[in-house]
Amino acid sequence: MPVEILGTIHHAARPMQERLIIDLATLPEEGKDFSGELSPELFDLPEHDPSKPVGPLVYELRVQRFASELLLTGSLSAPFELTCVRTIHPFTKTLRVDPANVSVEIEQEGPMDVTEALREEILLEIPDHPRCDEADEPMHCEIDPRYLAVDKPDGDTVETRPRATGDDRWAALDALDNLDSER
């Protein structure tokens, strides 16, 4: 809703929502348009997950009821920080579902929370093998040949393998390697 302050019109920003609730009792038969942003906390990914939401889930949806289901059509997007499988560098990629076609079964009358269905649609878009050349701002994506194990020259001076900051998944194997060198 526009607000006039000292002769200048400012558009009040819509607050970011925690949930998207559709009230079936007030939903017109022909459907209704919904748009907005949902807080990135809705993704609730484990702390060690390499995919991290860095912005809100943005939705522009047409919601219509068909008997015992709610059909949501339109578009969804959310920016995520991913780690490149080649370079091990973090990058940002906006995951998009366009067109989005989400069907949610109506279990009871009244307000209906469709947040989880939208969350799942975006999470399904996270690539299995993210590459930084597919980022919002593509980067050069090439493995440093010094880190390849195949046909490594004997005089290689690389002492440690590359790791993303805070990545301790290999600590258990490194400990085994240290045991072998102590024998």
Same domain (yes/no): 101, 163: no
Same domain (yes/no): 124, 151: no
Same domain (yes/no): 158, 88: no
Residue pair 38/59 in contact (Cβ under 8 Å)? The answer is yes
This prediction's pTM: 0.70
Same domain (yes/no): 17, 54: yes
pLDDT tens, per residue, the chain with 183 residues: 344 444 444 434 556 788 999 999 999 999 999 999 999 999 999 988 999 999 999 999 999 999 899 999 999 999 999 999 988 899 999 999 999 999 999 988 889 999 999 999 999 999 999 999 999 999 988 876 766 666 555 665 655 555 655 666 667 666 776 665 666
Same domain (yes/no): 96, 168: no
Boundaries of domain holding 24: 2-134
Same domain (yes/no): 71, 105: yes
Same domain (yes/no): 52, 105: yes
